Amino acid sequence: MRDSISSGALTETTLLVLLSLYKELHGYGVKLFIEEKTNGRVVLGMGTLYGAIKNLVEKGWIVESSRVDGKVNYIITESGKEQVKKEEDRLCELQLLIKNIRGEEHEEN
């Protein structure tokens, strides 16, 4: 997972996995959540998904919350929620920049 430490930018996969874990879910549940919420635009392979989960556990952004019928469930941590908030702020700033630049472009035409 190539999340940028210097800019604070998260990959789309990281952000989507974090968002999916505001409720306790197991890995396959995360996959289904992401597919549903993105209308099928993002379909994660199991290797990609479990690599992301492993990385997020190592960062302390998610934790194992329970095990049921052999399935490991995860939940986002406060640190993970802070990362989501930082990404939301970064994306809002970027969206404003785009609107400002495109607005200037339209004024020139």
37-51 pLDDT, tens digit each: 999 999 999 999 999
Q: Which segment of 7-11, 42-46, 58-62, 88-92 scores lowest on mean pLDDT?
A: 7-11
CATH number of 12-108: 1.10.10.10
Instruction: Evaluate whether 35 touches 100 at the Cβ level (below 8 Å).
Output: no
Length of the chain, in residues: 109
**Torsions phi, psi for 67 (to 5 deg):** -130, 125
What are the tens digits of pLDDT across the range 8-58? 799 999 999 999 999 999 999 999 999 999 999 999 999 999 999 999 999
Handedness of CA 23, 1, 79, 77 (dihedral sign): positive
The pTM (predicted TM-score) of the whole model is 0.86
Separate counts of helices (H) and strands (E) for the chain: 4, 3
